[in-house]
Structure 1
Amino acid sequence: MVNVKIIGTEVYHPATKISNEELAQTAGESAAKLIGIWEYFGRKDRYYATNDEESTLMMGIEAAKAVLKAHGLSGSDLDMIVFSSGTHDFSAPTDAALVHQALEGKDTCIVYDSNANCVGMVVAADQAARAMTTNNKMKYALIVGSEQIARFYKEGDLASKGLCGDAACAVLLERIEEGDQGLIDSAYYTNSQKAEDMLFPYGGMTQMFSEQLTLEEKKIYLHPEYNVNVAFPTAVSNIELLLREHGLEKSDITHYMLSQLNLSVIKDIAGKLGEELDKFPYVGDIYGYTGTSSPFLTLHHAIQAGTLVRGDLFFMWSVGAGITSCATLWRL
């Protein structure tokens, strides 16, 4: 049976690593409180770009080059390039087109950007894999996820900035004509009743150059009661749904690669599923929260550590502003 499998991952992050204590130095009397918040979410360190040249796009290009090199491929081998981000560098041209240029891709390659915010890379891999199964002209696809969320929080919102880090991940997908490796299925949940509770840019693109709003006002807006907690129970329900639909047991699953936003939520999901926490890798203490790439950074580390091997079944799940979430079931 035709399927699309993951054949490789690579990660890029800036060189500058900043600990909770270092980041809190500018907070004065609030330092201890901020460190407590960050530790509750599972933060310890994160990487930050320290100049404008090390952008969302640049990080994505570096991760893309690394994954191609690791697997002996070139840009001309790619049939599709998808760039997932909530902090794209460009609306025109697409960041994917600029990745294509940097990789010297072929002129028959499909290129487009994807933005489902923090769940974006999970969605992009799902949608790309489904497209590849219906098109026998496609052999390889590159999914790039890159984000720099902290850069766009308001200057006074150190609590939110400290939750985030800068990083990119690139994933290679390959169409195979037979075998049981690859994407098995996906399940989505969307609740848009309070979609406007997180806005970026505030006022929308039509007010990007308006002088009615200050630069600070145009940065990420969060409603005082904003949270994505409504989606967390669906991680459990969607995972259990996919298990039932495919005749699988939880004991068949070796890993759950979840959004790295909140370690406490990961622990809660593990408890509700009745699974041991060691099935839920966590790298948010290394990278901070990297948005779209966060579940794939976790996947990369599990593969590199040898805890996830060929033939293993695993889930990926994340949630993005809107609110929308997606669970995907794969066999490596």
Structure 2
Amino acid sequence: MIGSDYNSLVCNPEDEITYSNYGDAAAAVILEMTEEDTGFIDSIYFTNSVSRKNIMYPENGLSNALQDRSDGKYIKWIPFDGTESMPYVYESFEKLMGRYNLMPNDIGAYCLSQFALANIKLIQNKFDIDDEKIVYVGDRFGYTGTSSPFLALHEGIKSGRIKRGDHLIFWTIGAGYQIITMLYKY
């Protein structure tokens, strides 16, 4: 699995949110079949387009930007309250854990979107998750989009916080918004 984003290319240097928050990264996770009881277990995907016009690239469509009919060079970011998505995030965690009779403390580590530490803290508080189980790397790499949960996975393995046999929850959020939650056994 590969995740890659070159976000700084489309971030407006005059926009304090995107320019200071976004980072560039690529990450790859190599999956192999083994005799171990590990791997992908299940996932949930949810979309709600309520804030779709708050984050747009290119702002006026790709054909307009490519044909010089519109500036559209940078991400258009209109600030909004992203916490409106959190009930759906909580529900996705509860459904995945419930399907497999897992409790939040049964999860060895949480590899979450690094977009906003505030969102991570909301999840942590909602499920009473120990600090040690939250892998945060956004302070070092910024928000690297698709690859951010994979960078958290790498950090968790490298630091010894993620061990073979651990259940992991991966979660990310996309503009608009899309919520993707995955249960995995490492």
TM-score of the two chains, using structure 1 as the length reference: 0.53
SS for the counterpart of 1:168 is strand
Aligned counterparts, 1:109-120, within 5 A: none
Match of 2:114 among 260, 283, 296: 260
Higher relative contact order (CA 8 A, sep 6+): 2
Q: CA RMSD in A?
A: 1.7
Q: Is the 2:171–2:181 contact (alpha carbons within 8 Å) kept by the matching residues of 1?
A: yes
Please state how far the C-alpha of 1:262 moved relative to its aligned partner: 1.3
Please state how far the C-alpha of 1:289 moved relative to its aligned partner: 1.0
SS for the counterpart of 1:286 is helix
What's the counterpart of residue 97 of structure 2? 243
SS for the counterpart of 2:84 is helix
1:288 equivalent in alignment to 2:145: no
What's the counterpart of residue 50 of structure 2? 193
Q: Is the 2:47–2:178 contact (alpha carbons within 8 Å) kept by the matching residues of 1?
A: yes
Write the deviation string for residues 135-163 of structure 1: whole angstroms up to 9, x where unpaired: xxxxxxxx221112122122311442111
**CA distance in structure 1 between the partners assigned to 2:132 and 2:118 by the alignment:** 14
What's the counterpart of residue 156 of structure 1? 14
**CA distance in structure 1 between the partners assigned to 2:85 and 2:26 by the alignment:** 24
Segments of 5+ residues of structure 2 without an aligned counterpart are none
What's the counterpart of residue 75 of structure 2? 220
**CA distance in structure 1 between the partners assigned to 2:118 and 2:184 by the alignment:** 25
Identity %: 36
**CA distance in structure 2 between the partners assigned to 1:242 and 1:159 by the alignment:** 32
**CA distance in structure 2 between the partners assigned to 1:261 and 1:318 by the alignment:** 9
1:147 equivalent in alignment to 2:5: yes
Say which is worse superposed, 161-170 or 309-318, in terms of deviation: 161-170
SS for the counterpart of 2:66 is coil
Please state how far the C-alpha of 1:180 moved relative to its aligned partner: 2.1
Please state how far the C-alpha of 1:286 moved relative to its aligned partner: 1.0
**CA distance in structure 1 between the partners assigned to 2:54 and 2:18 by the alignment:** 15
Segments of 5+ residues of structure 1 without an aligned counterpart are 1-142
Residues 193 and 267 of structure 1, relative CA distance in 2, 3 Å threshold? closer
Please state how far the C-alpha of 1:179 moved relative to its aligned partner: 4.1
Q: Is the 2:57–2:74 contact (alpha carbons within 8 Å) kept by the matching residues of 1?
A: yes
SS for the counterpart of 2:32 is strand
**CA distance in structure 1 between the partners assigned to 2:69 and 2:81 by the alignment:** 28
**CA distance in structure 1 between the partners assigned to 2:63 and 2:106 by the alignment:** 49
**CA distance in structure 1 between the partners assigned to 2:10 and 2:180 by the alignment:** 25
What's the counterpart of residue 279 of structure 1? 133
